[in-house]
Amino acid sequence: MTRFLLLILTLTLSLFAISNESKICQKCHPTIYNEYYASSHRKASVLNNPIHKAYWEKHPKDEKGYTCAKCHSPSDKQVMKTGILKNNDIQKHEPISCVYCHTIKEVDQGKMSNTNISSGKVKEFYTADKSKKGSKTAHFETKSSWFGLVKTVQNSPYHKINYNNENYYNGNVCMGCHSHTNNEHNFDIVMLDALINKNDKNTCISCHMPQVPGSKVTLSETKTHAYHGIAGIHHMNQEMGKYIDFNVTQNSSGFTVNVINHANHALFGQALRQGVLKASILREGKEITLEPFIFTRILAHDGKEAMPWNATGTLKDTLIYAHKEVMFKKILQKGDTLTLTLGVQLLTPKGAKELGLENDKEVSKFRILKTQKFKF
Ligand code: HEC
Ligand code: HEC
Ligand code: HEC
Ligand code: HEC
Ligand code: HEC
């Protein structure tokens, strides 16, 4: 017991010593913390994401200031209040902090964007655990048996846990930031087009925060924990391919690939993002590479290509919604092996140029989601 009291004491002291709250969580949830630290959520700020920085620098400014904070650094209370962006520890280490996500009580629907409503509780966190749903708020307990000789502890000595927020079960907790982001012209520049349906087998959380090996906490041992690095473009991208299927059919002028998307949202909808479908045929020992197909939205204003903040519509939309048929004008022959590779690039070549990031290798890197071979 003294061990726990000591721990609580040091934690209380460190609360005053450091402003970085997530560091406190790290003491008992080190694996989750390390994943979080490498995640896009920790890197969502101007300080940590060069694309975000370039985009904000080009973005027109007005008296409202840095409105991006609402989703990119809501834990920085200062910028949320004033709109004035300053370099500080929160921007660097926890722009979207552990506590921020774990205290989202509900999500308010809005025309330009949704809004997260916080519970305002400092040390009571929501999470999902089906086996504990419906139970009362969990707090630290010690039980003794054998006349006090054996002591067992339960739950967290640092915080309470609330298992009864439906938003953590159906994925709605993500929708305060991920539903839609409208620009000043009321045009949605992040076309996720997500729809949460309670009959869906998977949720935002089961696909993007899958259970991976490693204990969720040090004080007791669990086999797995929810992946906080966020499976997606930057991490576990090849595993995300299992939610996408290719269906190939031949016809008289070539072949068609139907790309079937099992996510409850469109793919590659972030402004200036692009998906790429590469196809090559191995024929009699020779590789024939076909022209790749690009999935993207070309944003426009008055019929001309425009940057996201000016956009009022699209010139072209080739995103994958429920599915997308892509035609290749090449007739397949018996004995051919067709290789299909679907991947994503953070920025379209044009977008990279507009943002002055054409020499940044990260933004043009081809990140593979799925590759599959077909024999004919
Ligand atoms: C002193 C250690 C300690 C600290 C510090 C701590 N936790 Fe915990 N946390 C625990 C323990 C123990 C559990 C209970 C795990 C269980 O038994 O399911 C837990 C559980 C949780 C859960 C629910 C997990 C589940 O499935 O039951 C969440 C969410 C959580 N902690 C978030 C946080 C956050 C956010 C912070 C930092 C603000 C934090 N914790 C700091 C010890 C700690
Ligand atoms: C309503 C919430 C919201 C607001 C407000 C918002 N964003 Fe975002 N932004 C997001 C989300 C969610 C993503 C991730 C989308 C994705 O990956 O599909 C994102 C992604 C981005 C990206 C892509 C980052 C990358 O690494 O590819 C850039 C750049 C960006 N936002 C810039 C901005 C700027 C600049 C502002 C302010 C003018 C802003 N955003 C305001 C929610 C928001
Ligand atoms: C406070 C707002 C906020 C919340 C809540 C939030 N996100 Fe994000 N998310 C963002 C922003 C902003 C980005 C883009 C960061 C960047 O790259 O600049 C992002 C990026 C992502 C990405 C892209 C990953 C990659 O590799 O780049 C995925 C996937 C994602 N979030 C999933 C989720 C899921 C699932 C949830 C719910 C458990 C969630 N997010 C909750 C703001 C949020
Ligand atoms: C983008 C929002 C978001 C952020 C940021 C975030 N979490 Fe979580 N966390 C979640 C969600 C959603 C779940 C529920 C996962 C599930 O259903 O299994 C979760 C689950 C957990 C759990 C329980 C793990 C399990 O396997 O059930 C712990 C412990 C936890 N988080 C701690 C943390 C800590 C510590 C941090 C910061 C280092 C953090 N979280 C940051 C959204 C977030
Ligand atoms: C069935 C699995 C599945 C579900 C459910 C799911 N996603 Fe995805 N998501 C994917 C796949 C596959 C991709 C494409 C790979 C990538 O770009 O990361 C993706 C991509 C993303 C991206 C990056 C898009 C981009 O190009 O910028 C974000 C952000 C995201 N998902 C958020 C969410 C949110 C929020 C939810 C819940 C509404 C959700 N996802 C539900 C599988 C899923």
Measured from the CA of 36, which atom of ligand 4 is nearest? 38
d(CA 41, CA 122): 20
Span 317-360, pLDDT tens digits: 999 999 999 999 999 999 999 999 999 999 999 999 999 999 99
Measured from the CA of 175, which atom of ligand 5 is nearest? 35
pLDDT at residue 8, rounded to an integer? 52
Measured from the CA of 174, which atom of ligand 5 is nearest? 35
d(CA 198, CA 217): 30
pLDDT at residue 56, rounded to an integer? 98
Q: Is the pLDDT of residue 2 over 70?
A: no
- Confidence category of residue 157, pLDDT binned at 50, 70, 90: confident
Mean pLDDT of 58-69: 96
> Which ligand gives the minimal distance to the CA of 97?
4
25 Cα to the center of ligand 2, angstroms = 26
Rg of the Cα trace of the chain?
24
Q: Are 342 and 276 in contact (CB under 8 A)?
A: yes
Nearest Cα to 69, choosing from 129, 105, 14, 116? 116
- Confidence category of residue 7, pLDDT binned at 50, 70, 90: low
Measured from the CA of 207, which atom of ligand 3 is nearest? 35
- Confidence category of residue 135, pLDDT binned at 50, 70, 90: confident
Nearest CA to ligand 2 atom 31: 52
pLDDT at residue 181, rounded to an integer? 96
CB atoms within 10 A of CB 231: 18
285: left (phi over 0), alpha (psi -120 to 50) or beta: left
What's the distance, Cα to Cα, between the start and end of the chain in Å?
A: 68
Q: Are 161 and 124 in contact (CB under 8 A)?
A: yes
Q: Is the CB of 243 under 6 A from ligand 5?
A: yes
d(CA 238, CA 91): 30
How much of the chain, in percent, has pLDDT values that exceed 70? 94
Max distance between CA atoms of the chain, in angstroms, equals 83
Q: Are 117 and 105 in contact (CB under 8 A)?
A: yes
pLDDT at residue 1, rounded to an integer? 46
180 Cα to the center of ligand 3, angstroms = 12
Span 252-275, pLDDT tens digits: 999 999 999 999 999 999 999 999
d(CA 51, CA 366): 16
pLDDT at residue 13, rounded to an integer? 46
Q: Are 80 and 69 in contact (CB under 8 A)?
A: yes
* Residue of 270, 273, 297, 354 to test ligand 2 pocket, by largest number of atoms within 8 Å of CB: 270
Span 79-126, pLDDT tens digits: 999 999 999 999 999 999 999 999 999 999 999 999 999 999 989 999
Half-sphere exposure of 121 toward its Cβ, with a 13 Å CA cutoff? 14
